């Protein structure tokens, strides 16, 4: 049986793979030795063994021999190479899949395992198509092709998710105390709980500061009433959900016409970051 259109289908699927998942290179050692071991193994296995096996597989999908009838000697020779190639890809996946995640890479590792599971399933379907296993009718063949397309979409999406999270985890594993401070906007009004006239400072992410990327665990701040020579009023707060800025802190008992100053610094697991500049606002 000659399966028409298989070359086009496999080429499109592999195009998504080869363009989508570049491994970020770690520029320096991670903060923990276990993280360095894990990221180094990812680079060696994924960027080396796995991608070379995938490249060899993709090259075979471009061979005109796959469009020949299955009884043709050239097709049989090509099929033998293809089966060996698929086995090598799956074997290389096992090497990556067997890695034990280190502390900083727990989130991305779970996504990696899901991506690879989908990819193994995809390769298994491709092997069935190439070997005409379970595709003895047009309906059965159409079902396999539909499964192939679904799995190709799944591993492409999963691969994107993993690559994004791996980059985040890589940044986390190389954390230093925040070198930037968040931006702040001011508003004033009665506090809903105390009914006191309150100055609110809203802490926001911007292009220079990301609470999530910096893994901020808490903030410290100082209020000054009237001038910077006044006694600072300090405050601190823990971050409950790193994914949900903004943070709002307030100074109660302010007066109309008063001038107030504020500065803030972020804290992450490696220490306190830099203070922001002194920010001032005058209450109407």
Residue 221 lies in domain: 183-282
Flag whether 178 is in a domain: no
Contact predicate 90/158, CB 8 Å: no
Flag whether 140 is in a domain: yes
pLDDT at site 258: 96
CA atoms within 13 A on the CB side of 146: 6
Q: Show the low-confidence residues of the chain (pLDDT under 50).
A: 1-22, 24, 26-28
pLDDT at site 221: 97
Q: Of 149, 173, 197, which residue constitutes the final position of a domain?
A: 173
Contact predicate 279/266, CB 8 Å: no
Same domain assignment for residues 65 and 20: yes
User: CA nearest 130: which of 59, 199, 76, 51?
Assistant: 76
Give tens-digit pLDDT for 113-132.
999 899 899 999 989 888 88
The first and second tokens of residue 146, run together, are: 């539909």
Same domain assignment for residues 20 and 82: yes
The first and second tokens of residue 168, run together, are: 């985040």
CA of residue 73 relative to chain centroid, distance: 46
Spell out the residues 6+ positions from residue 14 whose beta carbon is closer than 8 angstroms to its own. Answer: 54, 57, 58, 61
Q: Of 116, 148, 173, which residue constitutes the final position of a domain?
A: 173
d(CA 168, CA 163): 9
Same domain assignment for residues 14 and 138: yes
pLDDT at site 26: 46
Flag whether 1 is in a domain: no
Q: Of 132, 148, 173, which residue constitutes the final position of a domain?
A: 173
d(CA 51, CA 63): 19
**Domain tally, the chain:** 2
pLDDT at site 29: 59
pTM of the model: 0.58
CATH number reported for the structural domain that contains residue 195 in this entry: 2.60.40.10
């Amino acid at each position: 049986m000659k399966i028409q259109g298989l070359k086009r289908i496999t080429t499109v699927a592999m195009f998504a793979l080869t363009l989508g998942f570049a491994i970020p290179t770690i520029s320096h050692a991670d903060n923990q030795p276990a993280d360095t071991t894990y990221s180094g193994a990812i680079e060696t296995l994924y960027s080396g063994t796995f991608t070379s096996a995938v490249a060899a597989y993709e090259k075979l999908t471009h061979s005109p021999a796959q469009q020949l009838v299955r009884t043709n000697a050239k097709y049989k020779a090509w099929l033998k190479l293809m089966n060996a190639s698929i086995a090598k890809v799956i074997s290389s996946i096992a090497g990556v899949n067997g890695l034990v995640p280190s502390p900083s890479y727990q989130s991305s590792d779970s996504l990696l395992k899901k991506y690879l599971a989908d990819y193994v399933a995809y390769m298994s379907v491709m092997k069935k198509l190439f070997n005409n296993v379970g595709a003895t009718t047009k309906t059965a063949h159409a079902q396999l092709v539909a499964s192939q397309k679904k799995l190709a979409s799944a591993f492409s999406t999963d691969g994107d998710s993993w690559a994004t999270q791996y980059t985040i985890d890589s940044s986390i594993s190389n954390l230093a105390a925040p070198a930037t401070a968040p931006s702040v906007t001011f508003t004033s009004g009665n506090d809903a709980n105390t009914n006191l006239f309150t100055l609110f400072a809203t802490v926001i992410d911007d292009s220079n500061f990301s609470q999530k990327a910096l893994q901020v665990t808490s903030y410290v701040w100082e209020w000054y009433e009237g001038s910077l020579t006044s006694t600072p009023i300090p405050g601190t707060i823990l971050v409950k959900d790193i994914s949900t800025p903004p943070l709002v802190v307030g100074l109660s008992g302010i007066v109309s016409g008063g001038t107030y100053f504020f500065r803030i610094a972020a804290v992450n697991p490696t220490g306190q970051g830099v203070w922001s500049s002194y920010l001032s606002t005058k209450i109407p």
